[in-house]
Chains A and B, each alone.
Chain A
Amino acid sequence: MIDRREFLAVLATAVAALGTREAIAGSPHAQRDVLPVADLGSLQKAYTFFNPTEAEFIEAAIARLIPNDDLGQGALEADVSYFIDRLMTSEYGSGARFYNQGPFGDTTRYQGYQLPLTPPEVYRAGIAATNRYCEEKHGKRFAQLDAGAQDEVLNALQSIGLEKVPGATFFGQLLSDTKDGFFSDPVYGGNRDMIGWKLVGFPGVAANYATTIGKNEPYDVAPVDLGALRARVPVDEHGHPIHQNAAAGVIRPTTAPVPSPSDRQTADAAHTKTTFFV
């Protein structure tokens, strides 16, 4: 719970914002949400879609895809496993918005996704098949392997066929959802404490950048998520947050990462370049 004094301060800010809004000539805009603020406390962490074996796999896999390392916490610490679990039962994540009607016949390689499986079905089939692959090869489930062996399996997934679903399809879905969970607003269940945004220096909900656009200068501020905007952050006359300087302690690389060997194949030493045809 926030205390009464803090609540009144927030309410005063919101009312002030409302009062001045009408005075901005020539700037029509939508009414900002000024409902009373309630502290919801911490959401319960529990899985509603993945069974324990599946959850164990997801937690182990995302910890390799975006690891906890010298740059700080990764996907596991950002609650991305809970983000993916919630996704499986959402309208979008369950695939309800996609065209799922048959027939599912032969296709050419240029006709896009043509499997009859929805995203949750891809996860179910993919996790079970990957664990079987690990059992056959190593005698253990994926989550029981050490990090090096897990990375080998994840690499292999990109080229092997699993039962029901191509490894690359399953891996692609898992990787894409993991990155989404790492960089989406925390309201969706991942990106806890805005770990992903702090890593890259993304401010989240935008301020008015009319006077900062065009400058070759870092804009290093404490990010603002949807929940924080409603509850805790001062806003300008439009209802946009007034960003505050970033807190100390955010780790970000200060020098360019060393290029991988494949980057060095270029004839022009000043540039790395690869041509793709899509």
Chain B
Amino acid sequence: MATRLKPVDVVTVGVGWAGSILGKELAQAGLKVVGLERGDNRTQADFALPQTHDQYKYDRQLELFEQTSRSTLTFRNDYREVARPMRRHGPFPWGQGVGGAGFHWAGWTWRHHPWDFKTKKMTTERYGANAIPADATIQDWPMTYEELEPSYDKFEYTCGISGTAGNIQGTIRPGGNPFEGARTRDFPNPPLTRSYVETLFTKAATDLGYHPFPVPAAQMSRPYTNPDGITMGACLYCGYCMNYPCEVAAKATPQTAVLPAAFKTGNYELRSHAAVQRINVSGNRATSVTYVDAHGREFEQPADIILLTAFTWSNTHLLLLSGLGKPYDPAKGTGVVGKNYAWHAGLPYVPMQFDKEVITNPFMGAGALCTSIADLQGDNFDHAGLGFVGGAIIQILAMGWGPLTFQPTPPGTPTWGSAWKKSVAYYYNRSAQIVGLHDHLSYRGNYLSLDPTYRDYWGNPLLRLTYDFGPNERKLSQYLTGIGEKVARAMGASHYGSYGLGEHFDAGVPYGIIHQVGGAMTGSDPTKSVVNRYLQSWDAHNVFVVGASAFPQISSFNPTGTVGALAYWTAGAIKDRYLRKPGPLV
């Protein structure tokens, strides 16, 4: 029997970027907010040296990630197959604990391109309706880049993003991304100091006619105090960054950039080890959430506003478990919850080695210390005759790698014995990697649903992923792989491998990119979306589902920048409109 707790104004289910930003904004507006987090709570005091510089703990045991014994997905390529659990962290591990994906992330902080919000319309206009595959279910966002711009700006200033603006109010600026949507103002911090491999990439890409620029980074290039008065330290380029906490708080995370301001209001309470099981709904309103604590005790927490701010999968999982919204049925083409799933495969991947005197010091770096080109992103190039929609951002990485996870050898090198040992010894410090992140359309057959057989730690059905690549992605991958190879050659690589998408998605392959979207997508039509343009549920007006779960498809860009912007966007809609007149905002 659940213990019924005292009602509060707002509950957030999950305390990552979306949960912490919404929690802070609403607590600052005077509401009583409770943040419920399924995982544990880690604060800056837990991140002391020397323990943080431990590759085995963070890169192999994946200390910041969910254990599959507690929660995982089942997987199948096609709905006619029987799904089986992802028993180990195969293609993509996912975060757990306060901070969530915003804690283990690498800090790449992109905005979507204006085209990404209207891919369907723009593609149809330029190339005709036949350019989009018949079974694609992509749909345009119900808001534009221009509408979201102030929210992007707020997130970037909260995080202290280091970068070079390419477009300020329509003026193209040298050294930035000339293709990006217009910004109101520059980044809050100048770009990070570039690594040597980026210098090589920049020269090669420029020679090829591309326009390289620094990836916008959530690592501080100098000490920074954000608009909430929270100070973060300057990056030391130590290389223990993605998958790691930062001992000098130089990486923006919910812990380092947002939560201190929420606590300061006196209106915010964080409860970790609180695993929400259900949203309890009555009519067109949710009344409470039911959660289980670390001792297995059940609690019911009533609230006026319930914000689903967990990871993409968990948002969809909770909607399905709670019966909120109509589950998607691919056979009939009805329902919406679980529809429009997509992700980033992290391809093309072109690792390279140099036989000449190039010293890459791969152990130095920062999670977002990378240089990118966007010349082949979205529709920044002519697709006539190419046979696919979309493109990719392509970049050289200086994210920091120790030898536990980075053992570069040229293609054809044995994987063990003296030949391998000699090759790793020679090439560890003479290697670099190019990676692309590409558009992935949503398809009728790719979706999330409840598994009929397997259960999680709390006894709930696991979320079931039915997914495969589409022909659009294979063609796109093949084209972009060629571009990656061209840049590697121009950089003077002596050897390189070239990885593209295979025939089928394989849950045994460590693709390594986590970016998951869809399942609770935003739209303007209740029969084709789960939430409206303010990420408000069509079925219960006091429920907002905030995160990458709202993306109708995935663009080339890492999702976090847009997740942060959506959190500020929804916070604004709640503060300015919903609180005055609770009810459907559309």
CB of A249 closer than 8 Å to a CB of B? no
Q: Are B234 and A210 in contact (CB under 8 A)?
A: yes
- Hey, what's the 0/1 contact readout for A231-250 against B, CB within 8 Å counting as 1? 00000001110000000000
CB of A7 closer than 8 Å to a CB of B? no
Q: Are A271 and B50 in contact (CB under 8 A)?
A: no
CB of A16 closer than 8 Å to a CB of B? no
Q: Are A184 and B404 in contact (CB under 8 A)?
A: yes
**Chain-A contact segment, one of B115-123, B133-141, B412-420:** B412-420
Q: Are A29 and B195 in contact (CB under 8 A)?
A: no
CB of B463 closer than 8 Å to a CB of A? no
Q: A103–B54 Cα gap in the complex (Å)?
A: 36
Q: How would you classify the secondary structure of chain B's contact residues: helix, strand, loop or mixed?
A: loop
Query: Assuming A97-B68, A203-B363, A273-B495, is B231 touching A26 (CB within 8 A)?
Result: yes
Q: A144–B61 Cα gap in the complex (Å)?
A: 34
Set A30, A66, A96, A106: member contacting B69, Cβ < 8 A: A96
Chain A residues 207 to 249 lying within 8 A of chain B, measured CB to CB, are 207-210, 212-219, 226, 229-230, 238-240
Which residues from chain A contact B402 at a C-beta distance below 8 Å? Answer: 183, 202
B67: nearest chain-A partner, CB-CB: A97
Set B223, B361, B419, B507: member contacting A111, Cβ < 8 A: B507
CB of B428 closer than 8 Å to a CB of A? yes
Which residues from chain B contact A184 at a C-beta distance below 8 Å? Answer: 55-56, 60, 404
Q: Are B82 and A106 in contact (CB under 8 A)?
A: yes
Q: Are A217 and B359 in contact (CB under 8 A)?
A: yes
Chain B residues 60 to 87 lying within 8 A of chain A, measured CB to CB, are 60-61, 67-69, 72, 75-77, 81-82, 84-87
Q: A25–B240 Cα gap in the complex (Å)?
A: 23
Chain B interface: which size bin? 35 or more
Q: Are A263 and B453 in contact (CB under 8 A)?
A: no
Q: A215–B195 Cα gap in the complex (Å)?
A: 7
Q: Are A257 and B69 in contact (CB under 8 A)?
A: no
Q: Are A218 and B506 in contact (CB under 8 A)?
A: no
Which residues from chain B contact A77 at a C-beta distance below 8 Å? Answer: none
Taking the nearest CB of chain A, how far is it from the CB of B228, in angstroms? 14
Which residues from chain B contact A210 at a C-beta distance below 8 Å? Answer: 193, 234-237
Taking the nearest CB of chain B, how far is it from the CB of A71, in angstroms? 6
Set A114, A206, A229, A253: member contacting B84, Cβ < 8 A: A114
Chain B residues 179 to 235 lying within 8 A of chain A, measured CB to CB, are 193-196, 199, 223-225, 231-235
CB of A175 closer than 8 Å to a CB of B? yes
Q: Are B419 and A275 in contact (CB under 8 A)?
A: no
Q: Are B413 and A112 in contact (CB under 8 A)?
A: no
Query: Assuming A214-B193, A216-B358, is B496 touching A32 (CB within 8 A)?
Result: no
Chain B residues 328 to 384 lying within 8 A of chain A, measured CB to CB, are 347, 355, 357-359, 361, 363-365, 369
Q: Are B88 and A113 in contact (CB under 8 A)?
A: yes
Taking the nearest CB of chain A, how far is it from the CB of B366, in angstroms? 9
Taking the nearest CB of chain A, how far is it from the CB of B476, in angstroms? 14
**Chain-B contact segment, one of A36-44, A124-132, A135-143, A193-201:** A193-201
Q: A107–B85 Cα gap in the complex (Å)?
A: 10
CB of B424 closer than 8 Å to a CB of A? yes
Chain A interface: which size bin? 35 or more
Q: Are B231 and A263 in contact (CB under 8 A)?
A: no
Q: Are A213 and B49 in contact (CB under 8 A)?
A: no
Q: Are B495 and A205 in contact (CB under 8 A)?
A: no
Which residues from chain A contact B403 at a C-beta distance below 8 Å? Answer: 183, 196-197, 200, 202
CB of B411 closer than 8 Å to a CB of A? yes
Q: Are B411 and A31 in contact (CB under 8 A)?
A: no
CB of B460 closer than 8 Å to a CB of A? no
Q: Are A98 and B54 in contact (CB under 8 A)?
A: no
Query: Assuming A180-B404, A205-B50, A226-B54, is B231 touching A100 (CB within 8 A)?
Result: no
Q: A112–B415 Cα gap in the complex (Å)?
A: 21
Set B49, B72, B194: member contacting A99, Cβ < 8 A: B72
**Chain-A contact segment, one of B40-48, B263-271, B281-289, B532-540:** B40-48
Q: A272–B561 Cα gap in the complex (Å)?
A: 37
Most chain A Cβ neighbours within 10 Å, of B52, B454, B495, B501: B495
- Hey, what's the 0/1 contact readout for A251-278 against B, CB within 8 Å counting as 1? 0110111011011000010111111111
Q: A201–B357 Cα gap in the complex (Å)?
A: 15
B86: nearest chain-A partner, CB-CB: A112
Q: Are B500 and A110 in contact (CB under 8 A)?
A: no
Q: A210–B489 Cα gap in the complex (Å)?
A: 29
Q: Are B60 and A263 in contact (CB under 8 A)?
A: no
Q: Are A33 and B494 in contact (CB under 8 A)?
A: no
Q: Are B196 and A277 in contact (CB under 8 A)?
A: no
Known: A67-B421, A197-B403, A215-B359. 4 other contacts (CB 8 A): A203-B363, A207-B238, A255-B426, A278-B506
Interfacial residues, chain B to chain A (CB-CB below 8 A): 44-56, 60-61, 67-69, 72, 75-77, 81-82, 84-88, 90-91, 193-196, 199, 223-225, 231-240, 247-249, 347, 355, 357-359, 361, 363-365, 369, 398, 402-404, 407, 410-426, 428-429, 453-455, 481, 485, 488-489, 493-509, 511
10 smallest CB-CB distances across A and B, nearest first, come from A26-B223, A274-B411, A206-B238, A277-B502, A27-B233, A200-B428, A112-B507, A112-B508, A30-B48, A184-B56
